[in-house]
Amino acid sequence: MIAKLQQCTVVSLGLLLVGAAPAWAGSAAGLSWTAPSGWKSEGPRPMRAATYTIAAAPGDAEGGECVVNYFGAGQGGGVDANLKRWIGQFQAPGGGPADSLAKVSKKTINGVPVTLVDITGTYLFKPFPMAPQATPKAGYRMLAAMAEGPQGTVFFKFTAPKKTTDAAESQFHGMIESLKKQ
């Protein structure tokens, strides 16, 4: 009787968990993080520790993507070089450089130095890093973070139409706040 009761309990718990959206844990460079439960993990890809897709917010034609890159210790460029490159992937409304639109801040999370970037404008989308031409996408926003881990820097970059980014902003920051040294 007890064995049957335990079996039923396990089955019941399993059924309860089936409907729950999983939270995705990731790790790279001696750091770990927990991705938001509503984000879909696409798993690692070449040069990516993780890729998450985010559903479009009402009013946006497409959803977003959060890419997590780790290139190895001492690889991927420094914080300033990446800030410059990422800001260069945007234009101000009406064209021109987006430097003045970027909000950059630094903080320490659980002993991990993190540089955060927030920029809104026209995103110059490239389907792959060395693509010869970019497709301008107006009304986009990027939230990004560079976390300096024990074995190198981990790069988090979330780009999407502005409504989608706005709707998922607290989730992105929650993921960054979950960073821990392993």
The helix/strand/coil state of 131 is coil
Q: What is the pLDDT of residues 27-85, one digit of tens each?
A: 899 999 999 999 999 977 878 899 999 999 999 999 999 999 998 888 888 899 999 99
CATH architecture of the domain with range 23-181? 3-Layer(aba) Sandwich (3.40)
Q: How confident is the model at residue 15 (pLDDT cuts 50, 70, 90)?
A: very low
Neighbouring residues of 10: CB distance < 8 A, sequence distance ≥ 6: none
Q: What is the mean pLDDT of residues 90-101?
A: 90
Write out the two tokens for 9: 């309990």
Question: What order of strands is seen across the sheet that includes strand 31-35?
Answer: 24-28, 31-35, 180-181
Give the CA angle between residues 163, 165, 167 to the nearest 5°: 65
Residue 11 in this model has a pLDDT that exceeds 70: no
Q: Please report, for residues 19, 32, 88, 123, the alpha-carbon distance to residue 25 in angstroms, rounded to integers and kept in the order given.
A: 18, 7, 30, 28
Return the closest-CA partner of residue 31 out of 122, 146, 170. Answer: 146
Q: State pTM to two decimals.
A: 0.84
- Pair 112, 127: CB distance under 8 Å: no
Higher-confidence residue of 47 and 120: namely 120
What single-letter amino acid sits at 44?
Answer: P
